[in-house]
Amino acid sequence: MTGVTCVLVGGGTPNYLGSVTVTVDTFSVPNLTRYGSEPPSYGSITPATWADSGLTISGLYYGIITVTSPTVYAVVMRITGYAPNAGWSTLTIAGNAYSRVDASYSYDGTYSSWVWSTTSTNPFGTTIGATKAVVWS
Amino acid sequence: MVLTIFYPANEAEWYAKGTAEGGTYFEVPAVFNPDGTCDTAATDAKVQQLILVLSMKS
């Protein structure tokens, strides 16, 4: 008797859909102010892992950069490790929706980052200690 | 700064892609002219803005 047994181990596309809670803090140096969190530097993100991808969320923040004119405002999502620019459609921060296809994406060998250039809407607000829901859908 | 950008041929391709100094790979939604060709100057500005945002360390 002959037979073939096929066993699949692992594989598949990681799930990037889920939610976290950001406890808002601020970081400021000359020409740069941020609101949100970049653990462990400031604020916190719970849980720390992005959905069931196994990747750590290293930053969710709104940044104001005044080193250039005009001032640059940006919403930033940063993940430790490689994640493709795919697998989710919308990032919603406290009810403010950001479409993935509108983001600039980068991977520098350490971090995967998505950056939305925005105007003046700070989705995290400026209240230190406030908690904000962040959802990937 | 060493910067390599591949511009989309048309709006269906959507993103400009390339690498910045240090080998950072990027994808930036391109800006298009009314005739559907890539507005390279405006797209370059978006790439530069991305690099600026990422370069500001906390």
Banded model confidence at residue B1, pLDDT cuts 50, 70, 90: low
Which among A64, A97, A74, A77 is positioned nearest to A37, based on CA atoms? Answer: A77
Q: Which stretch of A5-19, A99-113, A116-130 has the lowest confidence by average pLDDT? A: A5-19
Which among A78, A72, A112, A103 is positioned nearest to B25, based on CA atoms? Answer: A112
Rounded to two decimals, what is the model's pTM? 0.91
- Residue B50 DSSP one-character state: H
Using one digit for the tens of pLDDT, what is the confidence trace for A67-91?
Answer: 888 899 999 999 999 999 999 999 9
In chain B, which ranges are E strands?
A: 4-6, 15-19, 25-29
Q: How large is the ipTM? A: 0.92
Give the pLDDT of residue A11.
Answer: 56
B53–A65 C-beta distance less than 8 A: yes
| Cβ neighbours of A115 (radius 10 Å) | 26
Give the pLDDT of residue B58.
Answer: 67
Using one digit for the tens of pLDDT, what is the confidence trace for A25-65?
Answer: 999 999 999 999 999 999 999 999 999 999 999 999 999 99
Mutation test of the interface with chain B: which of A25, A42, A66, A115, choosing the one with the most B Cβ atoms within 10 A?
Answer: A115
Using one digit for the tens of pLDDT, what is the confidence trace for A87-122?
Answer: 999 999 999 999 999 999 999 999 999 999 987 799
* Chain A partners within 8 Å of B22 (Cβ): 108-109
* Distance from C-alpha of B45 to C-alpha of B53, rounded to nearest angstrom: 12
Using one digit for the tens of pLDDT, what is the confidence trace for B15-55?
Answer: 999 999 889 999 999 999 999 999 999 999 999 999 999 98
